[in-house]
Amino acid sequence: MNAAEFTILLAEFKAMIHVLLYTAPETVTTRSLDDLITFNAETPAELEFFDQSILEQAAKAPGIMDKTYPEALATAKRLAGKEGIDKLLADNNVIAIVAPSGGPAWTTDLVTGGHFLGAAYSMAAIGVYPSIIVPMGNTRNLPVGPCFFGPKWAEATLIGLAYAYEQRTKARTTPKFLPRSPE
């Protein structure tokens, strides 16, 4: 599912960045993804902390008109939907799935980059299934919450479950502005 989704993301990014750059104001001199990659390579300050490997992968990836794009769409939706969420619900005889939405906001540092560990809502997003996340509390002053997701057209059920959870737990805390991540 994730490999198919990455194929989709590269193709869609490639298409949409071209539209964005092509229609940008005249003061923007980069007009294509290749121009953007070249600009970054020629401007070392732009690459001091982060690379452009995803941009380069997108430039080399098949586009949305290539046959691999609709094939990847079908594969991702099948694995997330019929063989993913639908199967989990049926096999466990439940109306919804509840899982931690993910860890707290992940840190990014200049040595090792980002530390995103994945998210429960990915399957729902890829399969185009409804999901909702509500507050569950904080971990080291960073908010966390459960993700409720279920079958297509189950928005009302999921909102009801999420609302009941919120009313029962009263776990929401007022967000704070922190100048930096807690250690």
Number of other CB atoms surrounding residue 95 within 10 Å: 11
In a domain, 66, yes or no: no
- Structurally, how many domains does the chain consist of? 2
DSSP letters of 16-81?
A: HHHHHHHTS-TT----SHHHHHHHHHH-GGGGSS---HHHHHHHHS--TTSTHHHHHHHHHHHHHI
**Is there a single domain that holds both residue 97 and residue 51?**
no
The pLDDT value recorded for residue 183 is: 58
**Is there a single domain that holds both residue 133 and residue 55?**
no
Type of residue found at 5: E
**Is there a single domain that holds both residue 48 and residue 86?**
no
pTM of the model: 0.80
**Is there a single domain that holds both residue 82 and residue 135?**
yes
In a domain, 177, yes or no: no
**Is there a single domain that holds both residue 21 and residue 53?**
yes
Instruction: Let me know how long the chain is.
Output: 183
The pLDDT value recorded for residue 177 is: 75
Residue pLDDT tens, the chain, 183 long: 999 999 999 999 999 999 999 999 999 999 999 999 999 999 878 777 778 999 999 999 999 999 999 999 999 999 999 999 999 999 999 999 999 998 787 777 777 777 777 788 899 999 999 999 999 988 877 888 999 999 999 999 999 999 999 999 999 888 777 677 655
In a domain, 107, yes or no: yes
| Domain, as residue range, for 104 | 77-169
